[in-house]
Amino acid sequence: QVQLVESGGGLVQPGGSLRLSCRASGFTFLNYYRDWVRQAPGKGLEWVSAIGGSTNNADSVKGRFTISRDGAKNTLYLQMNSLKPEDTAVYYCAIELQEGAATGLFGSWGQGTQVTVSS
């Protein structure tokens, strides 16, 4: 069974940085893309970033966030720099449902980690 556990969230001031981690068990990356998705207060889910054969980021975080992964550790990372209050959200990691494709359909989700950007 696949389990995903996010960590690294917390309270940070505007302009600060955080690094999120997502450790997977019962699963290896193989040819599946992995994603970060977030939900801000009062808003719906927003796709943030994806990594597989290539990487891609939402326009709202481009140039500030960097996605990466360590295949040997089955761990996904999201380095977040120049954080803004608008980045406040619960951040979830996910595994794409379809092998070799970034479709936005996910087969597995973590429980999420809270990121709060405030002075």
* More confident of the two residues 88 and 24: 88
User: pLDDT band at 46, cuts 50/70/90?
Assistant: very high
Whole-number pLDDT of residue 29: 63
Using H for helix, E for strand and C for coil, what is the string for 27-42? CCCCCCCEEEEEECCC
Whole-number pLDDT of residue 74: 87
Q: 48: closest CA among 27, 69, 34?
A: 34
Residues 6 or more apart in contact with residue 79 via CB below 8 angstroms: 17, 19, 65, 66, 67, 68
- Report how far Cα 48 is from the mean position of its chain's Cα atoms: 7
- What are the tens digits of pLDDT across the range 59-82? 999 999 999 999 888 899 999 999
- What are the tens digits of pLDDT across the range 13-36? 999 999 999 999 887 667 899 999
